[in-house]
Amino acid sequence: MKPIETIMRTAPVIPVLVIEDVAHAVPVARALVAGGLRVLEVTLRTPVALDVIRAMRSVEGAIVGAGTVTDPATLKASIDAGAEFIVSPGLTERLGAAAVSSGIPYLPGVANAGDIMRGLDLGLTHFKFFPAVTSGGLPALKALAAPFHQCQFCPTGGITLESAPEWLGFGPVLCVGGSWVVGKGAPDVTAIEAAARAAAALSDTPGL
């Protein structure tokens, strides 16, 4: 099993995090891990994101990665900050080659057959289907997965706690990305832990 697959199989939901204050990093990570979600994607959408990754790495049990990585420079900065895996919204040959050569577990974004073929050329077989809902939803992913039977996916973008079970019920889907687990602003750790428990429990849903 590839390292990225091990990460994807750790929990049914990977929280997609936009953290604007480093002081929120550790409380959010602790609440998510306590709720059963150990894999945390910190998006590089705020000026403090790299510091958030560093802070979250101190939380026992957390597997912290960087999301919204778009070029080799941010890839290197993320790795230097301690990111344990990398997620990108799309896939270019330049970024893909840099990620593969670094050896870090990498989950690139794909939305069509050409994207997947570009990834396969780089030796990649695990992808983030993004943006999932506006790219045609589950019917589109099923159509894409048919000719690419060797690939597995983490759909992200527009997925909710209510819609996640349908996605997770499709065999090639190992997990989903979810921004619903943690809201913006000062963290309500009790609410975050409860949301994490509900998301983690999706692995117990009959039929999954």
Q: What is the rounded CA–CA span in Å between residue 97 and residue 90?
A: 13
Q: How far is C-alpha 180 from the geometric centre of its chain's CA atoms?
A: 13
* Nearest-angstrom CA–CA distance, 198 and 55: 25
Determine whether 41 is an active site residue. Answer: yes
The residue from 128, 142, 184, 193 that is catalytic is: 128
CA distance 193 to 188: 9
Longest dimension (CA), the chain: 46
Enter the tokens of residue 187.
């963290």
Q: Is 162 a catalytic residue?
A: no
Asked whether 7 and 85 are in contact (CB, 8 A), the reply is yes
Tokens of residue 199, six digits: 């998301």
Q: Report which of 40, 103, 102, 53 is spatially closest to residue 82, judged by C-alpha positions.
A: 53
Which of 2, 5, 20, 41 is the catalytic position? 41
Which amino acids are annotated catalytic? 41, 128
